[in-house]
Chains A and B, each alone.
Chain A
């Protein structure tokens, strides 16, 4: 019998701890498939963040480090510098990467660290129960913006890909979305490219996934995707911001 779908070798058998309808599982799987396909299971190492994906170190079936909140790019820097023969990535959410860890991501990108960063943006803090994120949309209600995000008071959401694209060093920056099978297939290609560039030692690669949080948005999983399409994608526009391998500067 032909096997047409199976668990990637680079995912452990530990069941995911994510909420029903959460897209972290999809993002994990895309990364694991790409690592499998590039034959990197023996040389891959990842860094998990603080946030919903804090247990990512249990889910990926290779060496993993769990970082302090926001510090994954610094930890990955130390790991990659100590083990240049390994391929290193971080997996981070919006609070981890774009609030508390802003300095670490900007400077790791600016140094052109030879790591991949996978950034999941769902515009809210999930693990701590739905607080405002640096990517929370204007007027969006969260537990710490109960009257809606007031941009005059707390500023506008941060577009991380655009921010990092102002730097010279990054090799590849792309924003994708995970809101439909077609978008997931597109995202898979981006992840595959990031892992390939990582394998080839090209430099710093960054993929942002526009995702959802049905639990903390209080919207069911299917409608969450519609909500993200209508509200997030116009602000966080998918696209390639940098791809030195394809001449996109």
Chain B
């Protein structure tokens, strides 16, 4: 199954019954899968007039307390950024999928990781955070759908799955781990009734819920943003995820890579291991909250260099430098333009670290 289809199917199995989006390559299989499947499960599929409209439909449906998702690729995500800021400000649970392509501007339609800054450092205006999950396989892409909905509901915060054109287009076997029953989906639909837009079921108007990111009084806005940051601190404490590969005290180089890039690095590490060269990898699964402590702790006693590989010009690199904090030199190599580096290229870069000795 293609990653784009797998994440869509997994979202439906996780109880997502509302999906609003606009077509864009390389995520079109996702919107097409939703168009085909949502009517079969009694859900809402709506092709919006623009990404701007789609994200505001998400705002409306999330404000009404229902599991809702949208997806797009880089230029479309830029258009959604205004709405994402409002969703974060109004503390609404929603899941966003970005199947990244090359940029800036219209760029191209090949896989890239150029939206890391946008996803993890802002993108929209104001002080807010997205929870950002970065898959590296079709299976993980699918698994992240249900995880993203759970996190969104738990923290009333938007969650982005930051994939790329490779993961969206690639076909791999997938095992779907979840299939919510109708009763579970009905229960999910009521979980936010204490604050969301919902009918007054006992028929005697008791609530006046407001879905809103406006606080015109500066003191009130300050309090609101402080409350958001208290929430973000809890997320940073509880939700950091990462994976390691071939990590040991024998490592002479530590690689840091995320998403598709990390797969290529793994292949290169296998070759180097066979040649008796010890290289480890740490792969952030959550790009925000970022595993700063885990990256620092992964630097083994013999590590002389930390090497960051990304399909961009060095965006996660800043976070790695914060984590390493000058302990050892941090190097970077990346490919842009939607071109994915090969294992041989990574292997050559890493071998050069050993040759210097």
In the assembled complex, A217 has its CB within 8 A of some CB on chain B = no
Which residues of A in the span 58-84 have a Cβ within 8 Å of any Cβ on B?
A: 58, 61-68, 71, 74-83
Task: Enumerate chain A residues within 8 angstroms of B18, measured Cβ to Cβ.
Answer: 78, 81-82
**Do A78 and B57 form a contact, CB below 8 Å, given A63-B207, A66-B214?**
yes
A103 nearest CB neighbor, chain B only: B49
B61 beta carbon closer than 8 Å to chain A: yes
Query: What's the nearest-Cβ distance from chain A to residue B6, in Å?
Result: 25
Pair B198/A83 contact, Cβ less than 8 Å: yes
Find chain A residues with CB under 8 A from B53 CB: 71, 74, 77, 103-104, 107
Chain B residues in 8 Å Cβ range of A58:
210
A82 adjacent to B61 (CB under 8 Å)? yes
Judged by a CB distance under 8 angstroms, whether B200 is at the interface is: yes
Q: Is B209 an interface residue (CB 8 A)?
A: yes
Q: Tell whether B235 is near chain A: CB-to-CB under 8 Å.
A: no
Nearest CB in chain A: distance from B15 CB, A: 13
Q: A65 touching B83 by the CB < 8 A rule?
A: no
- In the bound complex, how far is the Cα of B209 from the Cα of A223, in angstroms? 39
Answer yes or no: B213 CB below 8 A from chain A CBs: yes
Please name all residues of chain A whose beta carbon is closer than 8 Å to the beta carbon of B56 when the two chains form the complex.
67-68, 71, 74-75, 78, 104
- A residues 18-68 touching B (CB-CB < 8 Å): 41-43, 45, 47, 54, 57-58, 61-68
Closest residue of chain B to A66 (Cβ to Cβ) is B212
Give the docked Cα–Cα distance between A77 and B44 (Å): 11
From A54, A71, A76, give the contact of B83 (CB < 8 A). A71
At the interface, yes or no: B165 with Cβ under 8 Å from chain A? no
Instruction: Specify the chain B residue showing the minimal Cβ separation from A80.
Output: B60
The distance in angstroms between the C-alpha atoms of A93 and B135, with both chains bound, is 43
Inter-chain contacts of B128 with A (CB < 8 A): none
Are the CB atoms of B60 and A74 closer together than 8 Å? yes
Q: Is A183 an interface residue (CB 8 A)?
A: no
For the complex formed, measure the closest distance between the CB of B164 and the CB atoms of chain A, giving whole angstroms. 27
- In the complex with contacts A82-B18, A107-B49, A66-B211 CB distance below 8 A: yes
Quick one: CB contact mask for A231-243 with B, threshold 8 Å, 1 for yes? 0000000000000
Residues on A with beta carbons closer than 8 Å to the beta carbon of B210: 57-58, 63-66
A86 near B: Cβ within 8 Å?
Answer: yes
Measured CB to CB, the nearest residue on chain A to B202 is A42
Interface pair A65/B211, CB less than 8 Å apart = yes
Q: How far is the CB of B38 from chain A (nearest CB, A)?
A: 11
- Chain A: minimal CB distance from B65 (Å): 7
Whether, in the assembled complex, B174 has its beta carbon less than 8 Å from a beta carbon of chain A, the answer is no
If A57-B210, A71-B53, A71-B56 touch, whether A43 touches B199 (CB-CB below 8 Å) is yes
Known contacts A62-B208, A103-B50, A104-B49; is-contact A85 B59 (Cβ 8 Å): no
* Chain B hits for A62, CB < 8 A: 205, 208
Q: Count how many chain A residues have C-beta atoms less than 8 Å from C-beta atoms of the other chain.
A: 35
Contact B208 A82 (CB under 8 A): no
Q: In the complex the two chains form, is A77's CB within 8 Å of B46's CB?
A: yes
Contact with B along A176-209 (1 / 0, CB 8 A): 0000000000000000000000000000000000
* Interface of A: prevailing SS: mixed
Q: How far is the CB of A126 from chain B (nearest CB, A)?
A: 16
Cβ contact within 8 Å between A78 and B68? yes
Q: Tell whether, in the assembled complex, residue B83 and residue A79 are in contact, meaning their CB atoms are under 8 Å apart.
A: no
Q: Which chain A residues border B68 with CB–CB below 8 Å?
A: 78, 82
A12 at the interface (CB under 8 A from B): yes
Tell whether, in the assembled complex, residue A83 and residue B52 are in contact, meaning their CB atoms are under 8 Å apart: no
Given contacts A71-B83, A75-B57, contact A65 B212 (CB under 8 A): yes
From A64, A80, A81, A83, B211 is in contact (CB under 8 Å) with A64
Cβ contacts under 8 Å, B290 to chain A: none
Chain A minimum-CB-distance residue to B20? A78
Q: Give the complex CA separation of A42 and B208 in angstroms.
A: 10
Interfacial residues of chain B within 314-353, with CB under 8 A of chain A in the complex: none
B156 to chain A, nearest CB (A): 15
B86 at the A interface (CB under 8 A):
yes
Check B64–A82 contact: CB distance below 8 A: yes
For B209, list chain A residues within 8 Å (CB). 63-64
Q: Render B34-53 as a binary contact track against A, CB cut-off 8 A, 1 for contact.
A: 00000000001010111011
Q: Tell me whether B49 and A65 are in contact (CB under 8 A).
A: no
Contact of B66 with A by CB under 8 A:
yes
Cβ contact within 8 Å between A67 and B199: no
Decide: A66 and B48 in contact? CB cutoff 8 A: no
B75 lies within 8 A of chain A by Cβ: no
List the A residue with the shortest CB-CB distance to B209: A63
**Contact pick for A77, options B60, B196, B207, B212, CB 8 Å:** B60
Given known A42-B205, A64-B208, contact A79–B199 (CB-CB < 8 A): no
In contact, B197 and A65 (Cβ under 8 angstroms)? yes
Instruction: Give me the interface of A with B, judged by CB distance under 8 Å.
Output: 9, 12, 41-43, 45, 47, 54, 57-58, 61-68, 71, 74-83, 85-86, 103-104, 106-107
Given pairs A78-B18, A81-B60, 8 additional interface contacts (CB within 8 A): A12-B208, A43-B199, A45-B197, A63-B211, A65-B197, A74-B57, A82-B65, A107-B49
Query: Would you list the 3 A-B pairs with minimal beta carbon distance, nearest first?
Result: A78-B60, A74-B56, A78-B57
Q: List 30 A-B contacts (CB under 8 A).
A: A42-B205, A54-B214, A57-B212, A62-B208, A63-B196, A64-B210, A64-B211, A65-B63, A67-B56, A67-B59, A68-B56, A68-B59, A71-B52, A71-B53, A74-B52, A74-B54, A75-B63, A78-B18, A78-B59, A78-B68, A79-B63, A81-B18, A81-B44, A81-B61, A82-B197, A83-B64, A83-B66, A86-B198, A107-B49, A107-B53
